[in-house]
Amino acid sequence: MSAGKRGALIIFEGCDRSGKTTQSRLLVELLKSKGIPTLPMNFPERSSSIGQVINSYLTNSKDLPDEVIHLMFSANRWEHMNQVKQKLLEGTTLVVDRYSFSGVAYSAAKGLDFDWCYAPERGLIKPDAVFYLRAPSNDLTNRGQYGEERYEKVEFQGRVAEVFDRICSKEASYFHKFDATQSVEDLHAQIGSITEELLPKVATQPLDTL
Ligand code: T5A
Ligand code: NA
């Protein structure tokens, strides 16, 4: 890509099994097929030492106070920020499965204060677009492997969805909300065309922070 043109930071958000991984993989394939430098990422990034603690928490082998695991999820994003910034400035578009909004939604759904949850996310690179895959939690329980991790309970997922909705209204300028019960192909077509319109627009804009 020519000098001065940056990549876009694109995020997928939504409840467990809403289809984020499926859609982010398809979007990465589409952009790559058009010759656009693109990399997938996901949070939590479970391979770092912080990520390994998060993984043992999520798989129920380790217990931590709600505040502590919240800050670890945030620290897991912060430890990758230099890399994110460098890739974007090099012209690589990043397609990221979950980000700060999952951090806020899951912790606020447990009863932690919304603003307290948002505070450690301030200063992270602001996404150019968030694709929010929304579905009633009852519609997601029959999808593969539901129920194996700590948060995969219908009632809890309902509260998570309420916080995602609240964030979506507050951050409406860059949130795109989709009915996640649509077919994989229909969702991909809509997400692909929004992304292709977005990339040239943001390429000359400076990076912003949350
Ligand atoms: N968390 C995360 C926090 O609490 N704080 C944080 O800061 C962060 C970043 C792990 C957990 O961590 C929490 C949230 C999570 O509970 P994770 O590793 O991203 O997060 O794992 P999950 O989100 O639980 O699970 P998935 O990522 O596997 O769900 P996806 O990616 O939303 O769904 P996907 O694409 O894997 O699809 C699930 C199933 O549905 C089918 C797929 O084939 C698959 O079988 N499917 C569809 N079926 C019908 N119609 C469609 N449109 C479909 N799309 C996909
Ligand atoms: Na996922």
Each of the 210 residues of the chain gets a pLDDT tens digit; together they read 446 799 999 999 999 999 999 999 999 999 999 999 999 999 999 999 999 999 999 998 889 999 999 999 999 999 999 999 999 999 999 999 999 999 999 999 999 999 999 999 999 999 999 999 998 777 777 777 777 777 878 889 999 999 999 999 999 999 999 999 999 999 999 999 999 999 999 999 999 999
Kindly give the number of the ligand 1 atom that is closest to the alpha carbon of 183.
Answer: 52
Q: Report whether residue 55 contacts ligand 1, using a CB cutoff of 6 Å.
A: no
Q: Report whether residue 20 contacts ligand 1, using a CB cutoff of 6 Å.
A: yes
pLDDT, position 1: 45
Domain boundaries, the chain: 9-202
Q: 20 alpha carbon to ligand 2 midpoint, in Å?
A: 6
Q: Report whether residue 18 contacts ligand 1, using a CB cutoff of 6 Å.
A: yes
* CA atoms of 196 and 154, how far apart (whole Å): 35
The 3-class SS string of 1-47 reads CCCCCCCCEEEEEECCCCCHHHHHHHHHHHHHHCCCCEEEEECCCCC
pLDDT, position 141: 76
Q: 90 alpha carbon to ligand 2 midpoint, in Å?
A: 26
Residue with tokens 């890509």: 1
pLDDT, position 145: 72
This prediction's pTM: 0.95
Q: Report whether residue 178 contacts ligand 1, using a CB cutoff of 6 Å.
A: no
Choosing from 12, 16, 24 the residue with most ligand 1 atoms within 8 A of its CB, the one to mutate for a pocket test is 16
| E strand segments, the chain | 9-14, 38-42, 93-97, 129-134, 175-179
Q: What is the ipTM of this complex?
A: 0.95
* CA atoms of 128 and 8, how far apart (whole Å): 6
Nearest ligand atom owner, CA of 40: 2
CATH superfamily name and code, 9-202? P-loop containing nucleotide triphosphate hydrolases (3.40.50.300)
- Helix (H), strand (E) counts: the chain: 8, 5
